[in-house]
Structures are given as C-alpha cells and as structure tokens.
Chain A
Amino acid sequence: MRRGELRAILIEAATTAWRPRSPSGELRPHPAWSDLDPAGRLEAYEAARALRRLEAARDPEGLTSTARAVLARLRAGR
C-alpha cells in the first residue's frame, strides 16, 4: 500500500465514533488517530465534523453516531 493510501485509511479510521476503552472504562484515543501526524489529525477532525453532519441528517432523531454512542453508554450505566 502506498503511503498516501495508508494515510487516507488512517484518517478515515479515526473518524468513527467507536473508541477503545481502558480496563477502568475510560475512552482511549483511536489507534489510527495515534498513528497520524498533526496535519493528518486535523484532517481527521474535519472529516469527522463532515461525517457527523451526514449522520445527523440520516438519523430520524437528528443524532450522530457520537450521540448514539453516549446514549448507549448511559443506558448501559457506563
């Protein structure tokens, strides 16, 4: 895989709302985010902003995957 392709994959991977958790339940940075350079992290941030807008438009209650993830944790008692 070429370097540019790998970078694009890492950026897209970091846009998910899913995050790994520590043994105590705290959210940890996404591994793909950790592998990105500062410019890539900024691109991932902007890509996530755009994606969340699309998600909210598609969701019947206007919620993004971020909001859904939070609500899922609240319902599960964190």
Chain B
Amino acid sequence: MTVDQVRLPDLDEHLPRILAGEFEAFGSWMAGAESRLRDSLRSFAIRVDVEGVVQETALRIWQTAPRFVADGRENGLLRLAIRVARNLAVSELRRYRVEPMEIDALDREAQAYDPTGSGVPHVPDLLLARRIKDCLDHLPRQPGRAIAARVGSGGTEPDEALAEGLGMRKNTFLQNVTRARKLVADCLAMHGIDLAVELS
C-alpha cells in the first residue's frame, strides 16, 4: 500500500452532520482528528497538561462549528482545531507565568507541525487496529481488566473509582495499565509492528 492510499482523509466530510447537531458525526470527526490534535501540542507537553487542552479544544470546535467557513482546502475544521488548541496552550502558559521567550519558542515549534504530514501509518490503520485488538484480547486477566475499565469509563471516572470497582488498590490498577501497555507493545513487536514507529 502506498502512502497516497493511507493519507489523511478529509474529515470535513462530517461537517454537514456536525452542523445538524449529530454527536455521532462529531465522534467520527474526533476519531480522525484527535491524534493529530494531540501531536500538534507535543512541544507544550512539558508545561501544559495536553489531555485537558485536547478535550477543551474539541468542546470549542463543537460550539464554533456552525460559524466555520471552509477555505476550499481539505481538513479545514482540523486546521482550525489545531490553531484553537495552540491558543489554549499559550493561554495556559501565560496563566502559569512562563517566560514570554519560552512561550514564543514552544509556540514556534507547535506552528511547524503539519497535520497532513504526520500520523500517516507505516502499517495500514485497519490492519494495525486488528493486530492491537488481537493483542489486547490476549492480555493476562488483570492488565486486561484494567485497560477495559479505562476504556469503559470513557474518561468520566477517576482511576480511584475504577480501581475500587475492580477490587484493586489504585497503585495496583495503575501498574496493570502500564503492564498492559508494555505487553501489547511486545505482542505487536512479535508481529513485526513497532508501536513507537507507528506513532512517530
């Protein structure tokens, strides 16, 4: 498969349904946009909690989508989201009273990010997803339960609650999540897939 065949699809195809207020369509947009959005914030990761910025950006994009004006190029909503995310990250840095020179340097690095030139998988997405799922399905019981609880909660419950629900101490729960992540990476490596390379 060539790079052209796996290039970033135009996520703006979801726009009409997003404008109609369909959460499912926004979910589909997020499924394609989130990793690029997160990647675009890498330079800020040592100073800003990127997870919160990604979520806040997505909420703002949902709110501003009705006023979005396409410029004729693909992935306009994603490019807008990346700008919003960068502005939010810079606002956080100012709130933390980070030196302006450091803010400028981090922002410049973020501006250099190209959403169409990143996230292109070395292994086709569907194959990678199938391999990952196979590896997750073969996890030992406790790491498998920990990962399943994280996914099942959809980010709405703190780890303390998830651990309690599984009858684990919080630290044991977190060690199981770490173990799951490493075991899946090892399992993928056995299939010739380097997860770190796929994410690079």
Contact = CB atoms under 8 A, between A and B. Distances in A.
Interface of A: 1, 8-9, 12-20, 26-30, 33-34, 38-39, 41-42, 44-59, 61-75, 78
Interface string B182-195: 00110000000001
A13 B171 CA distance: 9
Contact of A50 (B45, B151, B195): B195
Contact of A27 (B55, B177, B185): B55
Interface of B: 23, 26-28, 30-31, 34-35, 38-39, 42, 45-47, 49-52, 54-56, 58-59, 62, 128-130, 132-133, 136, 147-148, 150-151, 153-159, 171, 174-175, 177-178, 180-181, 184-185, 195-196, 198-199
A72 B154 contact: yes
A42 B106 CA distance: 14
Given A52-B38, A71-B26, A73-B59, A18 B155 contact: yes
A14 B45 CA distance: 12
Contact of A70 (B30, B133, B136): B30
9 contacts: A27-B55, A49-B39, A52-B34, A52-B38, A58-B151, A65-B155, A67-B30, A70-B62, A74-B59
Given A8-B178, A12-B178, A45-B42, A69 B133 contact: no
A63 B156 contact: no
B51 A48 contact: yes
7 nearest A-B pairs in the assembled complex, by CB-CB distance: A17-B155, A68-B154, A69-B155, A57-B132, A29-B49, A45-B45, A38-B46
Contacts of B52: 19, 27-30
